[in-house]
């Protein structure tokens, strides 16, 4: 049966079957993860020629590799002979990829270099290279791919907001560049992948799901996301294209609140930053902090953390995260970012563990919803909060109180476009 997504995604509500139906999951892997732009990794993970990392994009295993000419390629992790996966480790360095079945050898651009007993082939070698990503784009080290090459160009996908959010993070580095090579940590959750764009950009739950954090430690989330004042001053923003932000900036009560320190403790970082951007801008950045934003469909810019959402099955996903490291910042500062990351995000953290349990409870709740779609009265998820007070500016950017579901709706608007082929070329 062909799913009619317009029946399942409405402005004020979406149907629970979107979170557990296998047919829908299969459609998503094709329409979002193959036909659309997705984040794959960061150039700092493959600094040297021959460095590679393995990534899972929906159903596809891919290799991101830096070739001898310095270019970053994204190749299918699948031998073009009979389909054997080429890489098993998470990362490595190599001069070529060699399949272990019949020893075909591929260059770092995916081209077939050598086969044993070549006289058995009359096909040209050029026809037998690895599948490559149809489109690849890199911005300030963030590498995006569109596997089938059919999505529009990257500017249409990221839009001005996508670029601005990445800029806002990278500009906080004394050198203007960030490093994401400390490794990705996987958090395995028994939930649908779409509950993470939701959780990562939901401003309504913080005071409830994370009450144990507020009760046991001094956290800046109390100022920006807990209680009636905070959820009014902070903003939930939908930039369009599925790019979302919880904008804490209006709520911070002191500079460096997002890092939980005084300037005295990070003097070296501040002076290195001010040297490049000047004192006024550096002061402003200390107040504003890095963005808390989600870029459709799988990239979370979580302040000093970056996360990738990886779907595994309708009720299974992995939230991978790493710590932002600022090139040009002193070692103590970057270690502080590592410790902050360990506290906030991941399987043993103080924060996203409670998001994980919430996602698993949602999954348990919605898994019983009807997939015959015969009844429209049952199994809906309400997303109407703040619809009546949301503001739209001249660029179409929607914003509202941080506790409003503007961000959640923004995800689903983009989702519906992706699933119905709207805006595709």
Partner 1 sequence: MTSAELRAEVEDFLYREARFADEFLLEEWEALLTDDFHYWVPAGRLEGDPSKQLAYLNDNRARVATRIRQLQTGKRLSQLPNSPMRRVISNIEIESTDDEEALVKANFVIYELAAQSSGELRVWPGQAQYRLERVEGNLRMSAKWIELVTAHAGQRNLTFLI
Residues numbered 100 to 119 that lie near ligand FES (CB under 6 A) are 101-102, 104
Considering only 94-102, 192-200, 285-293, 409-417, which stretch makes contact with ligand FES by CB under 6 A?
94-102
**What, of ligand FES, partner 1, Fe ion, none, does residue 358 touch, CB below 5 to 8 Å by kind?**
partner 1
* Cβ-based nearer residue to ligand FES, 83 or 421: 83
- Could you say whether residue 309 binds partner 1 (CB under 8 A)? no
Token pair for residue 255? 């500079």
Considering only 95-103, 155-163, 287-295, 320-328, which stretch makes contact with partner 1 by CB under 8 A?
320-328
- Could you say whether residue 96 binds ligand FES (CB under 6 A)? no
What minimum distance in Å lies between the beta carbon of 95 and ligand FES? 18
- Could you say whether residue 348 binds partner 1 (CB under 8 A)? yes
**What, of ligand FES, Fe ion, partner 1, none, does residue 339 touch, CB below 5 to 8 Å by kind?**
partner 1
Chain contacts with Fe ion (rule: CB under 5 A): 355
- Could you say whether residue 82 binds ligand FES (CB under 6 A)? yes
The residue within the footprint of partner 1, chosen from 186, 227, 260, 423 (CB under 8 A), is 186
- Tell me which residues touch partner 1 (CB under 8 A): 90, 182-183, 185-190, 209, 211-213, 215-217, 318, 320, 322-323, 335, 338-339, 341-343, 346-348, 350, 353-354, 356-358, 360-361, 363-364
Binding residues for ligand FES, rule: CB under 6 A, are 79, 81-82, 84, 99, 101-102, 104
């Amino acid at each position: 049966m062909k799913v009619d997504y317009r029946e399942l995604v409405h402005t004020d509500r979406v149907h629970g079957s979107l979170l557990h139906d296998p047919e829908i999951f299969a459609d998503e892997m094709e329409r979002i993860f193959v036909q659309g732009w997705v984040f794959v990794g960061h150039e700092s993970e493959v600094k040297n020629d021959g460095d590679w990392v393995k990534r899972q994009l929906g159903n596809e295993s891919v290799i991101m590799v830096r070739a001898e000419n310095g270019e970053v390629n994204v190749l299918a992790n699948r031998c073009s002979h009979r389909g054997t996966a080429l890489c098993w480790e998470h990362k490595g360095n190599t001069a070529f990829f060699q399949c272990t079945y019949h020893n075909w050898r591929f260059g770092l651009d995916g081209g077939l270099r050598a086969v044993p007993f070549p006289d058995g082939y009359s096909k040209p070698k050029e026809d037998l290279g690895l599948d490559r990503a149809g489109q690849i784009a890199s911005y300030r080290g963030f590498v995006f791919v569109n596997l089938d090459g059919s999505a529009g160009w990257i500017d249409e996908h990221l839009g001005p907001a996508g670029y601005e959010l990445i800029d806002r993070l990278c500009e906080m580095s004394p050198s203007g560049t960030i490093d994401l090579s400390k490794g990705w940590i996987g958090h395995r959750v028994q939930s649908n992948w779409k509950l993470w764009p939701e959780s990562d950009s939901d401003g309504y739950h913080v005071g409830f799901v994370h009450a144990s954090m507020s009760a046991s430690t001094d956290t800046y989330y109390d100022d920006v996301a807990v209680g009636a004042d905070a959820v009014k001053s902070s903003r939930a923003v939908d930039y369009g294209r599925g790019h979302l932000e919880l904008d804490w900036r209006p709520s911070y009560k002191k500079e460096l609140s997002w890092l939980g320190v005084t300037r005295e403790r990070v003097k070296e970082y501040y002076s290195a930053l001010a040297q490049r951007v000047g004192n006024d801008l550096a002061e402003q950045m200390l107040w504003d902090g890095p963005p808390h934003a989600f870029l459709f469909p799988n990239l979370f810019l979580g302040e000093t953390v970056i996360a990738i959402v990886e779907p595994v099955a309708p009720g299974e996903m992995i939230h991978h995260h790493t710590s932002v490291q600022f090139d040009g910042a002193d070692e103590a500062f970057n270690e502080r970012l590592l410790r902050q990351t360990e506290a906030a995000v991941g399987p043993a953290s103080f924060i996203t563990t409670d998001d994980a349990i919430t996602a698993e409870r949602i999954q348990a709740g919605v898994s019983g919803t009807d997939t015959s779609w015969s009844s429209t009265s049952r199994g809906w998820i309400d997303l109407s909060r703040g619809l009546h007070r949301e503001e739209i500016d001249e660029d179409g950017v929607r914003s509202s109180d941080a506790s409003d579901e503007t961000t959640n709706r923004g995800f689903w608007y983009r989702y519906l476009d992706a699933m119905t082929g709207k805006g595709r070329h």
